[in-house]
Structure 1
Amino acid sequence: MRRRRAWATNDDGSAALEFITVGVILLVPLVYLVIVLGVIQEQTLGADAAARHTARVIALASDADTAAARADAVLDGIADEYGLDQDALQVSVTCVPAGVDCPSSGATVTVTIGARVTLPFVPAVFGLDRALSIPVEASAVQKVSRLWGAQ
Structure 2
Amino acid sequence: MPFAKRWTDALGDERGSSSLEFITAGLILLVPLVYLIVALSQIQGSSFAVSGAAKQAARVFVLAESADDALARVETAVHISLADFGVESDDAHVVISCDSGSGAECLERGEIVTVTVTARVPLPLVPDVLDVDSAASVPVQATAVQKVSRFWGAP
Common fold by TM > 0.5: yes
- Identical amino acids, percent of aligned pairs: 44
- Counterpart in the other structure of 1:84: 87
| TM superposition shift of 1:7 | 9.5
| Aligned: 1:103 with 2:113 | no
Distance verdict in 2 for CA 1:65–1:148, change over 3 Å: farther
Separation in 2, partners of 1:148, 1:62: 9
- Counterpart in the other structure of 1:118: 122
Q: Secondary structure at the match of 1:112?
A: strand
The correspondence for 2:17, drawn from 7, 10, 14, is 14
Q: Secondary structure at the match of 2:107?
A: coil
Asked if the contact 1:106/1:148 (under 8 Å) is kept, the reply is no
Letter in 1 for 2:143: S
| TM superposition shift of 1:8 | 4.6
Separation in 2, partners of 1:133, 1:73: 24
The correspondence for 2:60, drawn from 57, 71, 82, is 57
Unaligned runs of 5+ in 2: none
Unaligned runs of 5+ in 1: none
Asked if the contact 2:115/2:144 (under 8 Å) is kept, the reply is yes
Q: Secondary structure at the match of 1:138?
A: strand
The correspondence for 2:143, drawn from 139, 145, 148, is 139
CA RMSD of aligned residues (A): 2.4
| Aligned: 1:46 with 2:66 | no
Q: Secondary structure at the match of 2:37?
A: helix
Letter in 2 for 1:78: S
| TM superposition shift of 1:101 | 1.4
TM-score, structure 2 normalization = 0.85
The correspondence for 1:71, drawn from 71, 74, 81, is 74
Separation in 1, partners of 2:113, 2:134: 31
Letter in 1 for 2:18: A
TM-score, structure 1 normalization = 0.87
